[in-house]
Amino acid sequence: MTARPAPVGTGPYPPGPYLLFDIDGTLVDSSRLITDVWRQVAAEFGADADAILAVCHGRRDAEVVPMFFAAADVPAVMARIQVLEAAGGDLLSPVPGATELLAALPADRWAAVTSGPSRLMTGRLRSAGLPVPAVLVAADHVAEGKPDPEGYLAAARALGAEPADCVVIEDAPAGVTAGRRAGMFVVALTTTHRAPALGEAHHVLDRLAELPTALAARARTS
């Protein structure tokens, strides 16, 4: 996890809460890559790809793999996933609205909290043409992954923010639960799951470009 960034100007985005983004499905459209990788490893090691894809989003590979693969195969499956993910950069693109939103945010007001390893997720952001934040909390920075709140609380500390001053932007139930457990306002995008699966969120959006609407609703209720 990187250190707290130095303060910068407010930029064109209006002052408001600190924004803590998940990456896959929230900033980076990695749905094709994730689906392809899990289907490939499932086929190679004899697992149920549909069952994996139903629960894997927003969770660390190290937690998902033991749920579906024989213990003896876990190291090989993990290694294979890393190879396939590293080779799939051409399947990545920014979520619509992400490029414009991040360009407008002050660098000291946002962070990323991801269930992927830091090196992979940094490369994923760059492959999608998005900036790497000064604060990025990844799978290798925490002892417990989502739905545990550890990652979001770590990001808030690195930004010098209180949990109540943070808004989490997520696309998966595990991440929504993590944000709620951290005591933060949670906005969910329906990029990966339908709205009923994200019901624990304070606000559910179909498009990232609608985020200012959710922030305005939060301001009215705070």
The dihedrals phi and psi of 34, each to the nearest 5 degrees, come to -60, -45
Tokens standing for residue 191 = 């990029």
Please give the full DSSP string across 129-179, using - where no structure is assigned.
Answer: T-PPPS-EE-GGG-SS-TTSSHHHHHHHHHHT--GGGEEEEESSHHHHHHH
Catalytic residues: 22, 24
Of 38, 10, 19, the C-alpha closest to 214 is 19
Q: Which residues of 194-203 are buried (b: 16+ CB within 10 A; e: fewer)?
A: eeebbebbbb
Of 152, 144, 160, 138, the C-alpha closest to 187 is 152
Report the alpha-carbon distance of residue 7 to residue 202 in Å, rounded. 29
Tokens standing for residue 31 = 């749905």
Tokens standing for residue 134 = 């000064």
